[in-house]
Amino acid sequence: MSESYAEKAAALDAVDELGKLRAQFVLDDAVYLDGNSLGALPRSVPGRVEDVVRRQWGSLRIRSWDESGWWTAPERIGDLIAPLVGAAAGQIVVSDSTSVNVFKAVVGAVRLAGGGDGHGDGDGEGGGGGRDEILVDATTFPTDGYIAASAARLTGCTLRPVTPDEVPGALGPRTAAVLLNHVDYRTGRLHDLPSLTAAIHDAGAVAVWDLCHSAGALPVGLDEHGVDLAVGCTYKYLNGGPGSPAYLYVRRDLQPRFDSPLPGWNSHADPFGMTPDFTPAPGALRGRVGTPDILSMLALEAALEVWDGVSVAAVRAKSLALTDFFLECVSAYVPEGAVESVTPAAHAERGSQVALRCSDAGGVMRRLIERGVVGDFREPDILRFGFTPLYVGFGDVERAARVLAEITS
């Protein structure tokens, strides 16, 4: 049995059109299935960072803001990310962390909806009539929930946690903004962005999507589906490096009305005018705040070069093939009852990870890592395996399932 799946993996790798991209990453003999937490290092990055440090900063110094293009990096790199999430140029700015951008987006969404009273009372209870409610994914990554609660206090809105399935029934005339994850970080479930966005719009509310676990792994279609605002990190499937800056998408027709709760000199229409009154810059630039993190920003720009000529549709097709094959190998190898998949089997509901429920999951993951299979563990009993199609092969998948079987037998 083991030999037949190994042969199948070899055959699949032999015809994998994305397989050649693996050589563009710094990898070793381990099976790296944790790209949904931190992507592997693209080979182009170290040389670029050295140039930024030694030549641009070391020699050109302050001149690099103009001569090396530092000043325009946030929007320039945003335009590189745009096609990966289905957006036209001029709608994404790269800056700050995901958490900061979630805050900008949720407060900005309430303001776009004409909601809240602008006077939070500390406990999230809504103010007067009108749109004074924020819906948040109850299963979200904790930070999104914390930020949404803070945004509710700031705007005088009530925060209402609901599951994505409950959103259509929870929407109403009080709803100002809805914050949802495209892919659930724990289970890998892919939520229905098109239909949920349409339902939110039908209710007169503003949709904010967190793309951390989908950008770079599957088609998003921000423009196609009329998403209002979106945020995402760049250190997972986009391989930008630890702590690389996040991004904020503001749909083009909303940009003139987008009122960021964090205005800074970098988002001013005349940043060097040093005027006491704030006038927001045009377009997505109003999503900037302070001085860009140039070292991380330009490392990300180099990392994004691996996407030249790569089709997101091809990435999605391989992602589904990898996760299908992993589940097939797990079913064949792992003793019955040792693990249980909590990731949906249906392609339409699956991101690019597989989450397995397992007793002593923390201990099992430690032993997997010791054996050269790197995934991660989430409390209380989840083994997470992320599949980055740019560098994960079918042979990796077969080996990971085989080692898992040996550990759980």
Name the residue among 224, 186, 204 with its Cα closest to residue 344. 186
Residue 123's pLDDT is 37
384 is a catalytic site residue: yes
235 is a catalytic site residue: yes
Residue 120's pLDDT is 38
Q: What are 167-215's pLDDT values in tens digits?
A: 999 999 999 999 999 999 999 999 999 999 999 999 999 999 999 999 9
CATH 3.10.110.10 for domain 2-18+310-408, yes or no, is no
* Mean pLDDT, rounded, for 393-409: 98
- In this prediction, what percent of the chain has a pLDDT beyond 70? 96
* Mean pLDDT, rounded, for 125-147: 84
Beta strand pairing status for 158-162 and 133-137? parallel
E strands in 244-395: 247-250, 339-341, 353-358, 373-374, 376-378, 382-386
Domain locations in the chain? Answer: 2-18+310-408, 48-307
Whether 114 contacts 131, CB under 8 Å:
yes
* Mean pLDDT, rounded, for 341-358: 98
Is 121 a residue whose pLDDT tops 60? no
Q: How confident is the model at residue 91 (pLDDT cuts 50, 70, 90)?
A: very high
Is 129 a residue whose pLDDT tops 80? no
Q: Which fold has domain 48-307?
A: Aspartate Aminotransferase; domain 2 (3.40.640)
The residue from 48, 160, 288, 384 that is catalytic is: 384
CA distances from 187 to 171, 184, 210, 361 (A): 25, 6, 15, 14
Task: Calculate the average pLDDT of the chain.
Answer: 95
Residue positions counted in the chain: 409
The residue from 144, 210, 293, 396 that is catalytic is: 210
**What is the CB-side half-sphere exposure of residue 267 using CA atoms within 13 A?**
24
Q: What predicted TM-score, i.e. pTM, was given to this entire model?
A: 0.95
The residue from 185, 235, 249, 333 that is catalytic is: 235
* Mean pLDDT, rounded, for 297-318: 98
- Sign of the four-CA dihedral 97, 355, 199, 227: positive
Q: What are 211-233's pLDDT values in tens digits?
A: 999 999 999 999 999 999 999 99
Residue 116's pLDDT is 83
Residue 48's pLDDT is 98
Residue 2's pLDDT is 53
Is 128 a residue whose pLDDT tops 60? no
Is 19 a residue whose pLDDT tops 70? yes
Residue 117's pLDDT is 72
Is 124 a residue whose pLDDT tops 50? no
The residue from 32, 141, 237, 258 that is catalytic is: 141
Is 127 a residue whose pLDDT tops 50? no
